[in-house]
Amino acid sequence: MTERRPAGMGYESWLDKQIREGEQRGEFDDLPGRGKPLPDRGELRDADWWARSYLAREGGAMDALLPESLQLRKEVERLSDTVRDLPSERLVREHVSALNQRIAAWLRSPSGPHVRVGPVDADEVVEQWRAARHKPVPVQEPAAKAEKRRWWRRRPA
């Protein structure tokens, strides 16, 4: 837009004129999405529509939009699945300790909806972790195979 809007012309009509002249010059021909409808046109959106679309586009978890109390509650519910693949009891206890610190910080100054969530017993989680670990399957030695005879020794003696 190199021109200024004339004093007597309305703003909307001046914009329409600028767009029409740009279309005639072909300035919009190589734009991406040309001829395609606008995404989500006409739909009602919630207040966080942009955050939801960003997380969906970037592959993030939608749980990140939840209030902290609900995030902590979900993390407590999924704790046994989370620690199942940890290789040592020390790492399990460290994970539970970090979660309990976050829960204690939230309990000191709660925000968002009040959801009943309390510290997790580390000993109970360790017991569940031990029970869920893959117990080594004893390897059975194959039965003694008959000695394979070479073709030249197959003749009866």
Tokens (6 digits) for 10: 């309305």
Determine whether 92 is exposed, middle or buried from the number of CB atoms within 10 Å of its CB (0-12, 13-18, 19+).
buried
% of the chain beyond a pLDDT of 70: 73
pLDDT at 142: 60
pLDDT at 133: 79
pLDDT of 137 over the 60 cut: no
Q: Report pLDDT digits (tens) over 73-103.
A: 999 999 999 998 889 999 999 999 999 999 9
Q: Report pLDDT digits (tens) over 57-76.
A: 888 888 878 889 999 999 99
pTM > 0.75: no
- Closest to 96 measured CA to CA, from 82, 107, 115, 114: 82
CA atoms in the 13 A half-sphere facing the CB of 56: 6
- Residue scoring higher pLDDT (48 or 118): 118
Q: Report pLDDT digits (tens) over 22-47.
A: 889 988 888 888 778 776 666 667 77
* Per-domain boundaries in the chain: 63-132
The pLDDT of 118-146, averaged and rounded, is 77
- Residue scoring higher pLDDT (66 or 135): 66
